Chains A and B, each alone.
Chain A
Amino acid sequence: MSNRLWAVLGAVALFACSEPATGPAQTDNGNDTTTDATGSVPAGIEVDVSYHTLENGLRVVLSEDHSVPTATVAVYYGVGFRNEPRNRTGFAHLFEHLMFQGSENLPKGDFDALIYGAGGVNNGSTRFDFTNYYEVVPSNALEAILWAEGDRMRSPIIDQEVLENQQGVVENEVLVNVINQPYGGWIWIDLPMLANENWHNAHNFYGELDDLRNANLEDVQAFFDTYYAPNNAVLVVVGDIDSGETLSWIEREFGGIAPSEPPAPLDLSEPRQEEEKFGEIFDRLAPQPALGFGYHMPERGSPEYYAMAVIDQILVQGDDSLLNQRIVNEEGYASSVFGGINLLGNMYNYNGPMLWSVGMIHGDEFTDEEIMTTVDEVIEDLRTNEISQEQLDRAITKLRSQFYSIVDSSSRFGLADLLAVFALFDDDPTRINRIEQGFDQVTPELVLATAQEYLRPTNRSVIRVIPDPDGTLGGDDGSGEE
């Protein structure tokens, strides 16, 4: 499905995109954070969390907040791009589409009709380490939505007709987002393919068109049997709910679904990168060159990881960031610079090797050597000199504010997402209340040490998009270097 509200992604709106022109404008803010008694200063965030595991292994996270009379339901399965079979690139995402095609008690179309008819919205998305399905509904519809999600987990109906239908839809999704666009997949597909060595991290996860076309019902059955089971899932319900009543509904709708044998863990490890890598994409549709680069991140949750989050803020987030100031304001190479940790989500919602990436579309009067020399000046400074306390404080203020914005939205989807991934990856959704501690332990010394190890040029992969209007420079179909 993946279509409708919330570009959950930020820079690149894929796998979940493009709301109808009349849909609700989702912005930010609204609720969920708590403050000190005076209400004048943010005293950190304290989210109400209750955590349960059903007998069949389904992990359930509930969080009450009655400020707006809606409820958000999210089901996260522990399967993503990294899990898909080798000859079936793009399959995790295709399967996500198939889960919207009907279930035993809700023939195709009825699931959507139920949610929309109740005044709600729904969507799903596929990421590196999970596939999610979620609904936001007026709270009176919660019980019916839980019933529907239970029906879908228990017994989706997927036949040849809907498989072919969604193969067509997904192929059109790849066409509209990648192949018929300039700069289609360079930084979020091609750069990880270049930087990573392990196939699970380094394949084209939107899918080679041939692999998508070749997918068959046996693949569907095998994937469902392996990954779509209650013991490989997390269910989150947040918002205007009664936790006790909600839990009893969940027990009733999900408690009887049989678990499956847990999937074998994948070896996702990447070797330490020892040499800088370079890649080129010849793009028939791009009118200007683009340049992107990525560094392998420290392990998620480590002190260096939080330090990299600070470095991300200092280098590329916001108008005050060093690369924005230097590249955009001083040198004028580009109209804007973008980047971050996990371009298909945020710094929290992944669980494996990840890149910190930066990208820009730049004027063709500037060479990539010239731009990278400037980038290196900025980055080498961070690897040589400690940042000031003032720089650190400002970065942490930005991180906090950004974290609040993720958690605090009218749809409550950001909150549900964090609770789900912390349950799925760490078996501990209360981590949401300790994130700020992670930032607070970062020091200028730690930032320096982290920059020295992780911003090594030898830990970097650089990718260039070269305009190739006539297709003569080496490109074939303008869609990248697959």
Chain B
Amino acid sequence: MLKSSLKLIAAAALVLTAPAAIALQASQRPEIGPAPDFELPDTSTIQLDNGLEVTFIDFGLAPKVNISVQVMAGNVFDGSNTYMADVVAAMMEEGAGGESPASIAQAFASMGGDMNVGVGMHTTNFSANVLSEFGPDAIARIATVIRQPDFPDSEFDRILQNQIRNMTVARSQPGPIATEAYVGLLYGTDHPYGEGMPDVGEMDGFTMEQVREFYAGHFGAGRTRIYIAGRFDHDAMEAAIREAFGDWETGAAVDVPPAAPQSGPVVRLINREDAPQTTIRLGFPVSPIGTDDYYDLTVMNALLGGSFTSRLTRNLRETNGWTYSPGSGITNRLGSSYWTFNADIVTDHTIEAFAEIFSEISNLQIYEPEQDEAEGMRSWLSGIFILQNASTGGLIGQISNRDFFDLPDDYLETYVDNINAVSNADISAAAAEYLPLDQLVLVVVGDLDTIEEGLRAFPQLADAEFITDSE
């Protein structure tokens, strides 16, 4: 029996391939019962005399332990040498305690993991996810990498060339180009928050001396937090940490230069000749994480652009087919946060798409969302909270985020309740207060011959300062 129950309700007459098959009708839609209980795992934190803090998170069934050593040595400390933190981290992987990188890599591989070094805006993170029995060994080896880097001069040129190559590739992609220009408008290019990438040629003058200087100034126990998550022997791990890090000097106090993001209206246009899509970053400074308004912003973001069922995604993608992966989100910095909508929109429909974006934002500011839609967003955020906290890596991310931004101890325990306390009116109020279109910050990377005139004609951008440059 051939089946042909696909419903083709096009106007055009189509010959169906077979008579309708006999298929049972669908049953009634089942009700969704109350959400299951979910409790965050137990954690405990200790502090060593030198200021190093360690948090243990018991979670999971697999005999693995996830180790994350987070040092306040990220790009925010680059000063005028953008990517210096990256160069330092890469040099720290070039051997430690007299042992070669190959030998260190083999040791981690034998424990069932790699050691990964990641440089973020604020921290440089040394992590390894190894079989539990090797947890103490992994701690000792990570400590050697962090505390006794060999910094071989012989490798410096190669490492620097790698970083330059990474920058060169990033400069050929529309996304990084747009982001660089966007954060520059928000924070100014004098602050590391506003530095997307080094300028071409900027890294050529980096020296090994600068690397050593950065290391000396930004690594130390007082600037470091360790997270241990998984299944592990507490006593053995704590002993290994005390042994490996107990006599580490405290180091310099953390000193992040203050920064306040600037509103617009400002539009920066970057030409990418014949580009088939327009890459956009559109946003505003918003209330920082930790404030009451941040929960309102979180639900507002999910409803407007931050989820697949959001209005902007439904409109631009599911109704119009002008873009594949639009989205919005909130980026947190120390003392400030900003909301951004990003998308790559087919060139020929860019102007229409902007009209829809402006209209969706204005609409949400004026009209409270219906209960079904708003409740769906609150439920979604509550549900994915389980997924966000259902892995050792996820838990480390959530808990370290809480610690980093100095959020209340019960931040995670009260998160779902706080999300559910956001009213439908709060959602619109957050959009009205924090997304004022006459103060927007906008970057557009695309084929300006096709789109510039239409963009300049928007009344919403009438008062905006336009900055135009070719890529």
Interface residues in chain A, defined as those with a beta carbon under 8 Å from any beta carbon in chain B: 1, 3-4, 17-35, 39-42, 67-70, 104-105, 108-109, 112-113, 116-122, 136-141, 143-144, 147, 150-151, 154-160, 164-173, 175-177, 179-183, 217-218, 220-222, 224-225, 228-229, 240, 249, 252-253, 255-261, 285-288, 318-320, 324-325, 328-329, 332, 334-335, 361, 363, 393-394, 397-398, 400-401, 404-405, 408-411
Contacts and interface: CB of A to CB of B under 8 A. Distances in A.
B456 interface: no
25 contacts: A21-B329, A21-B330, A21-B331, A22-B329, A27-B392, A29-B60, A29-B66, A31-B60, A32-B61, A68-B386, A69-B38, A116-B307, A116-B379, A117-B380, A118-B383, A119-B381, A155-B7, A159-B10, A221-B6, A222-B17, A225-B2, A225-B17, A319-B104, A335-B165, A335-B166
3 interchain residue pairs of minimum CB distance: A119-B383, A21-B329, A168-B321
Interface in B257-298: 275-277, 279, 298
B165 A30 contact: no
Interface of B: 1-12, 14, 16-18, 21-27, 29-38, 59-64, 66, 93, 101-102, 104-106, 108-115, 129-133, 158, 161-163, 165-166, 168-169, 171-174, 230-231, 275-277, 279, 298, 301-302, 305-310, 314, 317-325, 327-331, 340, 342, 344-346, 375-377, 379-384, 386-388, 390-394, 397
A3 B325 contact: yes
Given A176-B325, A252-B27, 13 more contacts: A20-B305, A24-B387, A39-B231, A117-B380, A140-B34, A155-B26, A159-B8, A160-B12, A173-B324, A180-B276, A258-B5, A401-B130, A408-B62
Contacts of A141: 32
Contacts of B309: 109, 112-113, 116
B7 A329 contact: no
A397 B233 CA distance: 21
Nearest to B14: A217
Contacts of A27: 391-394, 397
Given A31-B61, A108-B318, A221-B6, A41 B133 contact: yes
A166 B321 contact: yes
A20 B89 CA distance: 28
A181 B112 CA distance: 35
Given A361-B169, A397-B112, A179 B24 contact: no
Contacts of A118: 32, 379, 383
Nearest to A65: B61
B424 to A, nearest CB: 15
Contact of B24 (A23, A160, A240, A256): A256
Q: Which among B277, B301, B328, B387 has the greatest number of chain A C-beta atoms within 10 A?
A: B387
Contacts of A147: 26-27, 29-30
Contact of B320 (A32, A168, A173): A168
A139 B36 CA distance: 7
Given A143-B30, A167-B321, A171-B346, A261 B2 contact: yes
B26 A164 contact: no
A116 B29 contact: no
B6 A158 contact: yes
Given A180-B174, A258-B3, A137 B60 contact: no
A160 B7 CA distance: 11
B22 A164 contact: no
Nearest to B341: A21
A20 B387 contact: no
B26 A169 contact: no
A22 B306 contact: yes
B64 A29 contact: yes
Contacts of B32: 118, 140-141, 143-144
Nearest to B349: A168
A410 B108 contact: no
Contacts of A286: 172
Nearest to A209: B276
B324 A35 contact: no
A121 B386 CA distance: 12
A140 B321 contact: no
A25 B388 contact: yes
Contact of A180 (B275, B306, B327): B275
Contacts of B307: 20, 23, 116
A119 B380 contact: yes
Nearest to B393: A27
Nearest to A165: B321
Given A255-B24, A258-B23, A22 B330 contact: yes
B111 to A, nearest CB: 8
Contacts of B318: 108-109, 165, 169
B35 A119 contact: yes
A221 B10 contact: no
Contact of B7 (A25, A138, A156, A260): A156
A105 B29 contact: yes
Nearest to A407: B62
Contacts of B11: 160
Contacts of B114: 318-319
B391 A29 contact: yes
B425 to A, nearest CB: 20
B306 A21 contact: yes
A461 to B, nearest CB: 24
Contacts of B59: 30
Given A21-B328, A144-B30, A410-B390, A30 B169 contact: no
A175 B12 contact: no
Nearest to B18: A225
Contacts of A258: 1, 3, 5, 21-23
Contacts of A261: 2
A398 B25 CA distance: 49
A28 B230 CA distance: 11
